[in-house]
Amino acid sequence: MFPRAIILVRHSTYSSGKNVVANFRTIGKGASVKSVIAIPTRHFGITGTLCRANETFDDFRAREEKKEQEYVKQQQASGTAGTSSSSQVDTFSSTSNDQQAPDPDVERAKEMILDAALAFVQSHGWSKQAIAKGAETVNYPSVSHGLFPRGGIELVHHFYKQCNLKLIDYLKQETADLERVPNPSEFARKAIEYRLRLLEPYLKYWPQALGLMALPPNAPHSLANVLTLVDDICYYSGDRSVDFNWYTRRIGLACIYKTTELYILQDSSTGFEKTWKFLERRMEEASLVHDFLVKSEDATHHLQNAVGSAFTTARNILGLNFERR
């Protein structure tokens, strides 16, 4: 009886001809299996190139290993190029970090632009538009407002700084011929009034400035400006105390200044007469609060620590020390 034979035919994907694989499997008890592979001597691939005829498995393996080695070399070459480019990027970034120190010429240009921009606050508010107009005034392109990435708040801080410097000049003039201020409370009241009058040309847009200063990213710098302002007033009024009075006077003046600042925004009286009367009443009340705090030992201890830390932080934020100019 003849054994049953199964013939499998498989088409090659690499040639237009056929590779015929005939597997003769003998099905039966104790039957042996034979495999015969018929490989044509020559055939052409899809691209028309002559394929290798009668290639052994070792030849095929050697050829593939050679391709793999060439691929690895290409990867290593591209990796070396990537390393060199990344090193160039690191060098550029380190150079950029070294160049982050403020350039005196740039700082002077920024001061000029901000000084000129103050003339446009009444028409454009505390904004980049005002800064752009100021740049054009001093012969810089309007795109120079890019020097101020934080926008209008930088103009507000510049104005606040200039006003504080004017206040210091005023305080120096008032105390130039005096060994001691006769009435420190009246001296502080006049100093606050002088400082608030500097806001008159910008009162219409000052609520916008207050809103910008109240934003969380801007609050530390804004608080530092106020604390420095009242510290200068207290110093030139003759306050050389090293006890609790140092703290109560400064925190009290800060509260009086901010409340009066808010009051003047709504005052429509001639010459802001109501505002100055409001300021007088607040100064009288401050003496009563001072007496209460001095008599309370617990309040003295806690307020001394809190206010002392606040003033130290303010000076550090503004980059100032406690030496008077």
How far is 286 from 234, CA to CA, in rounded Å? 14
| Per-residue pLDDT tens over the stretch 173-231 | 999 988 888 888 899 999 999 999 999 999 999 999 999 999 999 999 999 999 899 99
* Cα angle 89, 92, 95; round to 5: 150
B/e letters for 6-32, b = 16+ CB within 10 Å, e = fewer, are: eeeeeeeeeeeeebbeeeebeeeeeee
Query: Contact at 8 Å (CB) between 239 and 249?
Result: yes
Quote the mean pLDDT of the chain.
74
Element (H, E) at 70: helix 57-98
The reported pLDDT for the residue numbered 178 is 86
Euclidean distance between CA atoms 210 and 229, whole angstroms: 16
Q: Summarize pLDDT for 45-87 with one digit per residue, the tens.
A: 444 444 455 556 667 667 777 877 787 778 777 765 554 444 4
- pLDDT (0 to 100) of residue 63: 76
Predicted local distance difference test score (pLDDT) of residue 229: 93
Task: Give me the pLDDT at residue 203, please.
Answer: 94
> CA 307, 255, 179 angle in degrees (round to 5)?
80
SS3 17: coil
Confirm whether pTM is higher than 0.85: no
233-250: pLDDT as tens digits? 989 988 877 666 777 788
What is the C-alpha separation between 249 and 235, in angstroms, rounded?
10
